[in-house]
Amino acid sequence: MYRLHMITDPSHTANLRIAIDRNSSLSMQEQIRRKIIDDIALGVLIAGTRMPPSRQLAHDLGVSRNTIIMAYDRLVSDGHLISKDRRGLFVREGMFGRDLGAIQVTGSRQSINQSVWHARLATVALPSLTSVLPPDWDQYPYPLVDGPFDRSLFPVAQWREASRRALSVQEINIWTRNAGDADDPMLVDELRRKVLPLNGISVQSEEVLVTTGAQQALSLVCDLLVHDGMRVVLENPCHPELRMLLQKKKVQITALDVDENGMQLSAEAIQAADIIFISPGCQRPTGATLSDERRALLLQIAAESGKIIVEDDCQWETSLSTNALPALRGMPGGENVIYMATLAQPLAPAIRLGVLVAPIPVIRAARNLRRITARHPALSIQRTFAHMLALGHYAALLRHVEEAFAKRMIALREALNYYLPNKISLLPTLIGTSAWITGPKTLDTRLLVKRAGTHGVLIEPVHDYYSRAVPNNVFRLGITGLVESKIRDGVAAFANAFRETMDPTPSKTNFDAAQALSGSAIKRVCNGAKLLCKTVYGDPCTIVLSRNGEMQGRAGFANEDRDHGTWWVEGDYWCRQWRQWSYGEVGRFRVVLRGERIEWFHQDGHLVDWAILVRRNKK
């Protein structure tokens, strides 16, 4: 793969150690050029050093002489090397503005007392978060976390086309001019016409500010509108970094709990507050959507009492279905709502952009504050994203992402329902990219996170999201970073970690063979019976077992999810096979009947599922 040579020019002091990787995506010319530039920067090749002749270097590296000549020519044109008549090529004097060979570089000294710096840190320094995504998240076989996007979703060809357009000479002449604090006008116009209307928002360009994401927008709003002693309403659980921003302000925080319909409103708390922070579209982190009734009530109370609402439209790009609710900013009475969102999350490795929508005085103040902190996001990036929008690439990407995530969420729910049917419950949400899960009261999620890691599964602890009373049996699984085909295997591995966490001594079993039904007893009990149970995501499920071995199933509050299959008895095992449910696979279980509750046990003895048994011949 590599060809490594030590080239020594006997007539001079130049020593080059160059490794050629013939499988690299870089050309050999580019590899040689980069290595020489690195050696100059590091002082390996000092100013005035003579380079080996092109013929000698080509021979020693096993490449054509033209390759070396082209690499040398580029180094000369870029000013790294200089040609001297009849003498050859030499490293240029003062290439980096100073003689690196004359500089003494020192490393860190362990004798420095680090406690001095701890003592001088400002008192507002906050503790680190345990939920921060590890940098090697994509090295896990099964990263069941919410937030990072897997590479399969990045629109490579579309991004390259938009980049080429933004890097044309004409475009460069536009975005390189000094525009002060102004954002790219093309991007602002595209956002106003093609992005914000998707959430029901219609605004003037003066009401829009481009940020490096919703997090910067939150920081700007907190600095501008939140002052010491203010009364602030937050969701519980909520975005931990938002809570940390507010804690720096020394405000009085009222945390309102979240259920499947979003934040549970308290008219008294909202009327007493100065500002309300909320993520109504896809609540961060549970994924719940604020109901129509609560939206109307929140806007009404805020309008009557003159309160400020700050809306974080979390994950709006993954919830664009026709029945999705508009943003609070886009509803009647939402004109004074401050709206923010992160844009182009699937493109996060290339860009980090967000949008802040607010009344003109707020945008003007935010623009001034942005100028003295981080300036505007790079105009080249803004123009590239503007072309993504103008060419229709971003709309196509959103459709692709929404479709992919819908399939992944179905795969996640089906896998959880298959591997952990009676162990957990999911918060019923209509949209989103994660499942907010409650386990048994005895579950320790901190141990679960560690145990899952040993099975190659990365999951996110949720303790940082809570303002108070942290439940130790709640966790979250996400699907943004794992392709659909791997979700089932990931949940299967997670289920093993879950069972090991709940029962560290797997030799013990809940199954008592003496209580198990025989094959003939299973037939008597199940013939013509009806089974009443629930899925892990809370939907009711009814299964009818016909005497001829047919099996009918319906699930959902409107019986919208239906399937059919067969059931039979083999020895002392009850067997079943659905056409679609449970992946269409054959299941074999031992059966225990406790009153009207029927229980199915896996061959290794653990409880798989249970249901209420309604017998057809019961009087």
Summarised one tens digit per residue, pLDDT across range 520-568 is: 999 999 999 999 888 876 778 899 999 999 999 998 877 788 999 999 9
pLDDT digits 0-9 by tens, 481-516? 999 999 999 999 999 999 889 887 655 567 888 899
User: Would you state the structure tokens that stand for residue 52, as one six-digit string?
Assistant: 């080996």
Q: pTM of the prediction?
A: 0.78
Mean pLDDT across the chain = 85
pLDDT at 619 exceeding the cut of 60: no
Q: For the ranges 132-146, 450-464, 466-480, which has the lowest average pLDDT? A: 132-146
What is residue 11's predicted lDDT score, i.e. its pLDDT? Answer: 41
What DSSP assignment string belongs to 551-590? EEEEESTT--EEEEEEEEEETTEEEEEESSGGGG-EEEEE
Nearest to 127 by CA among 216, 241, 14, 210: 241
Instruction: State the Cα–Cα distance between residues 245 and 218, nearest whole angstrom.
Output: 8
Q: Which domains does the chain have, with CATH numbers?
A: 2-101 (1.10.10.10), 196-376 (3.40.640.10), 410-502 (3.90.1150.10), 513-614 (2.40.128.640)
What is residue 9's predicted lDDT score, i.e. its pLDDT? Answer: 43
Comparison of pLDDT for 348 and 364, the residue scoring more: 364
Q: How confident is the model at residue 339 (pLDDT cuts 50, 70, 90)?
A: very high
pLDDT digits 0-9 by tens, 377-403? 889 999 999 999 999 999 898 888 888
Tell me the torsion sign for CA atoms 239, 241, 244, 249.
Answer: negative
What is residue 430's predicted lDDT score, i.e. its pLDDT? Answer: 67
What is residue 594's predicted lDDT score, i.e. its pLDDT? Answer: 87
All residues at 6 or more sequence positions from 373 whose CB lies less than 8 Å from its CB, including other chains: none
